[in-house]
Chain A
Amino acid sequence: GAVVSQHPSWVICKSGTSVKIECRSLDFQATTMFWYRQFPKQSLMLMATSNEGSKATYEQGVEKDKFLINHASLTLSTLTVTSAHPEDSSFYICSASPDWGRHENTEAFFGQGTRLTVV
């Protein structure tokens, strides 16, 4: 199956600093990528959807200036948490799709997630 790789798997940063998380599709071109946030023992909450070459579409309540998403190429999307605070600590997961929404069998493939701890 298709492989999506996230880096880093975990990161600890100081409060007030920024941290970047990368999401790469290794063996397909991802026209659409999604970023999710998962709190402990909770479900995934969609943060934003990005299409290659376009600005990301953020879900209601997600601060676009705090969570910067860039999808500059068909194999890479990045999520930058700016001026991180302890409440931003969470598990962030990306997913990518080569053809999301174009037909019924479209599928999104998930990265392994990044655990962010802000101290």
Chain B
Amino acid sequence: AQSVTQLGSHVSVSEGALVLLRCNYSSSVPPYLFWYVQYPNQGLQLLLKYTTGATLVKGINGFEAEFKKSETSFHLTKPSAHMSDAAEYFCAVKVKAAGNKLTFGGGTRVLVKP
């Protein structure tokens, strides 16, 4: 079965600083990987996804993530944090052989300091 681990349940960054959110997955077959953002009392919005092809994926709001098979990682980055980036971020994996269910990591809450 696939699983997702997000290192760090909370991350605090200064406005303008680099945002780095870590995600490692476990899957016996090539997975599809996703990053979602959740604002308070709201549903999830897709930031970006990796299916096949280019391993560096660009998403919305200036975020990008790189799929590294050798490290089983899919870390999310943004060069310069903005106050509006304060939210909860979830990494998720989907494996076709496992019924295409989305399995979510524990989430990382991002706090942006002015």
Contacts and interface: CB of A to CB of B under 8 A. Distances in A.
Whether chain B is bound by chain A comes out as: yes
Contacts of A98: none
A108 interface: yes
16 contacts: A6-B43, A9-B41, A41-B9, A42-B107, A46-B103, A49-B99, A49-B101, A95-B43, A100-B100, A101-B100, A104-B32, A105-B51, A110-B36, A110-B44, A110-B45, A112-B42
A93 interface: yes
Interface in A57-116: 91, 93, 95, 100-101, 104-113, 115
A43 interface: yes
A6 B104 CA distance: 21
B102 interface: yes
Interface residues of A, number: 26
B69 interface: no
Contact of B43 (A41, A43, A113): A113
Interface of B: 9, 32, 36, 41-46, 49, 51-52, 90, 96, 99-107, 109
A108 B45 CA distance: 10
B101 A4 contact: no
A49 B41 CA distance: 22
Given A101-B100, A113-B42, A43 B51 contact: no
A11 interface: no
Contact of A42 (B46, B49, B100, B106): B106
Contacts of A104: 32, 51-52
Contacts of B46: 107, 109
Contacts of B107: 41-43
A26 interface: no
Given A104-B32, A111-B43, A46 B49 contact: no
B100 A4 contact: no
